[in-house]
Structure 1
Amino acid sequence: MNRKKFILSSATLIAGAKIPLAKQNTTNGKPQLRFGIVTDLHYADRDAAGTRYYRQSFQKLGECVELMNQEGVDFLVELGDFKDQNASPEEKETLHFLQTIESKLREFNGPVYHVLGNHDMDSIMKDQFLNTISNSGFSKAQNYYSFNAGAFHFVVLDANYTREGVSYNKGNFDWKDCYIPEDQLRWLEEDLRRNARPTIVFVHQQLDRPAFESAHDIFCPHNADDIRHILEKSGKVLAVFQGHYHEGSFNILNGIPYYTLKAVIEGDGTVNNSYAIVEIGQHSEIVIRGYRKAVTKCLNAMPQ
């Protein structure tokens, strides 16, 4: 596939009767594929702390799932930091938070996929998280994996490792020390090599480090440059969708757009909710329809 040239344009949000909806999609004709994204719910049955309204994430996710069902999207992706923990963490309690928010996500009438975030292993093991959730089409949830939908390929990465390659488990980490180990990078290269389809990548931590000030490097894997090089070299990646940085962001680096979705947990009430529908058009152009706080973007892919 030839390298795509992406032209960015913004679409303005309009207010619906209940939920602020994005403008009519601008893909050329009927979209080939539509999927939902939501991130950083940090659900826990605990009181708010600062701008984080942990308990409300259950209701906010319910609104998201209801809208996704109404819209009939093809699948839904949760981009990490799905659950949180109490101020005095207990393993059993944390697992209950995860089970509760997973049950709400499962109300979506279609395939669901998870991306691992650092808070998902704060007081439980990575295997405990994976054994509690499920990814559609997999007998056991994996921490990194790929799948096909329609004419497209999708890759889920796990950057929840220390620089030494030690997996995050039960709070044994500093969240600013994140990394994708060599074996996962080799898997990524091989997965992209074997796949001939246009590809979308999902990851919790941000990969677009050069576009940020140095203070924001803490939100990126140490080897973000190496990861981006693999994506660029493949010539197949249409876009990367991320979480982790609660304020959200958008950048284009070497022809690949990096869209960071705003966090669900931030702010009181559903007016401060955040989720989006991604539509891929007939010519691989992408429209991101943001709801509530989420930003709407139009990425028009024009072959060189």
Structure 2
Amino acid sequence: MTQHTDATGLGRRAFLKNGALVLATTAMSTRDLFAKETKPSVKVGLVTDMHYADKKPAGSRHYRETLAKLEEAAMQFQQDQPDHIVELGDFIDAADSVETEKGYLKRVNKEFAALPGQKHYVLGNHCVHTLTKDEFLDGVGQENSHYSFDAGGFHFVVLDACFRSDGKPYGRKNFKWTDPNIPKDQVEWLSADLKQASGKAVVFIHQRLDVSNNYGVKNAAEVRKVLEESGQVLAVFQGHSHKNDLKEINGIHYCVQRAMVEGSGTENNGYSTMDVFTDGTIRLTGFHKQHDYEWTF
């Protein structure tokens, strides 16, 4: 959603509540507007595009500061105690050598793995710039790059779009970042998985399924058709383009999370917690530069 400034100079943020677009000044907590006494069925922490690397800033990306930003997010997650925490890709930034990139991964994952709840790693293009997928997954202790899990009566799906148009997986600098694809066998797996889902579903992916530009998955329309035909999917959470964004396509919300690497200082941090309620309501509580949303289905 867009950031606004009113005549008083106060920022305003757009968010959805009960299907209606609402604007609120940052002086008034949107969390107060979202207040509910009902306990969520499941709580998920979300971070994306951390791009951790031990190197100097480049443009708006402050790679080393990810550790301090993650430490600040950790305090919030310790308070909220999410059941699961999902990082939506580009966990690390590119390095010139395999050993250097493994060092980045080991350093940042030491902090991430200590967060509460079960951790999930979505592959981003920078995660496998120099490493192979197996090397990244081994480094974080995750068996697969796409899979699903159930929690609180809901179904969650992790997708991997780090494949070239010819079906070859990303790794060892063998790809262009503008060529992300979900291969046929993963699309077929997704269709079968959603058919077997016992509850409504939420999907996590790095590259975007809601646009057709360089940030979008090349066969996004095919994947969206599977999501829509299942009748199960409530929302898709994405990273990759670094800015808050939200689209609704055929009843499914596609929400882009704000990159943690952008900007200097914890005041430029961005992360969120997602509460999913029994009736399918999803409340996203954003911190710092991450927007708030609430969708009632």
Q: Same fold (TM over 0.5)?
A: yes
Aligned pairs for 1:209-224 within 5 A? 209=211, 217-224=213-220
Which whole-Å deviations, capped at 9, do the CAs of 1:215-237 have from their partners, x for residues lacking one? xx110111000000000000000
Aligned to 2:273: 277
Deviation at 1:248, TM superposition (A): 2.3
Aligned to 1:182: 184
Aligned to 1:234: 230
Distance 2:135 2:23 in 1: 41
Deviation at 1:194, TM superposition (A): 1.0
* Contact 2:238–2:256 (Cα < 8 Å) also in 1: yes
* Contact 1:31–1:281 (Cα < 8 Å) also in 2: yes
Aligned to 1:66: 75
Deviation at 1:106, TM superposition (A): 1.2
Q: Does 1:101 align with 2:95?
A: no
Q: Does 1:252 align with 2:264?
A: no
Deviation at 1:74, TM superposition (A): 1.2
Which structure 2 segments of 5+ residues have no match? Answer: 1-17
Alignment match of 1:154 (pick from 153, 156, 170): 156
Deviation at 1:21, TM superposition (A): 8.1
Q: TM-score, normalised by structure 1?
A: 0.88
What SS does structure 2 have at the residue aligned with 1:36? strand
Deviation at 1:300, TM superposition (A): 1.2
Instruction: Please provide the CA RMSD for this pair.
Output: 1.8
* Contact 1:40–1:246 (Cα < 8 Å) also in 2: yes
Go from structure 1 to structure 2 and tell me whether the alpha carbon gap of 1:28 and 1:97 turns closer, same or farther (over 3 Å shift): same
Deviation at 1:13, TM superposition (A): 7.0
Deviation at 1:130, TM superposition (A): 0.6
Task: Give the aligned residue type for 1:291.
Answer: F
Q: Does 1:52 align with 2:61?
A: yes
Aligned to 1:7: 19
* Contact 1:240–1:259 (Cα < 8 Å) also in 2: yes
Deviation at 1:171, TM superposition (A): 1.1
Q: TM-score, normalised by structure 2?
A: 0.90
Alignment match of 2:147 (pick from 145, 151, 166): 145
Distance 2:281 2:107 in 1: 36
* Contact 2:236–2:252 (Cα < 8 Å) also in 1: yes
Go from structure 1 to structure 2 and tell me whether the alpha carbon gap of 1:203 and 1:262 turns closer, same or farther (over 3 Å shift): same
* Contact 1:126–1:169 (Cα < 8 Å) also in 2: yes
Task: Give the aligned residue type for 2:137.
Answer: L
Distance 1:255 1:133 in 2: 34
* Contact 1:41–1:264 (Cα < 8 Å) also in 2: yes
What SS does structure 1 have at the residue aligned with 2:115? coil
Which whole-Å deviations, capped at 9, do the CAs of 1:24-67 have from their partners, x for residues lacking one? 63457222211110000000000111100000011111111221
Distance 1:12 1:154 in 2: 31
Higher relative contact order (CA 8 A, sep 6+): 1
* Contact 1:27–1:285 (Cα < 8 Å) also in 2: no
Aligned to 1:213: none
Alignment match of 1:191 (pick from 174, 190, 193): 193
Deviation at 1:196, TM superposition (A): 2.1
Distance 1:162 1:239 in 2: 25
Go from structure 1 to structure 2 and tell me whether the alpha carbon gap of 1:155 and 1:127 turns closer, same or farther (over 3 Å shift): same
Distance 2:73 2:25 in 1: 17
The number of equivalent residue pairs is: 280
Aligned pairs for 1:62-141 within 5 A? 62-86=71-95, 89-135=96-142, 141=143
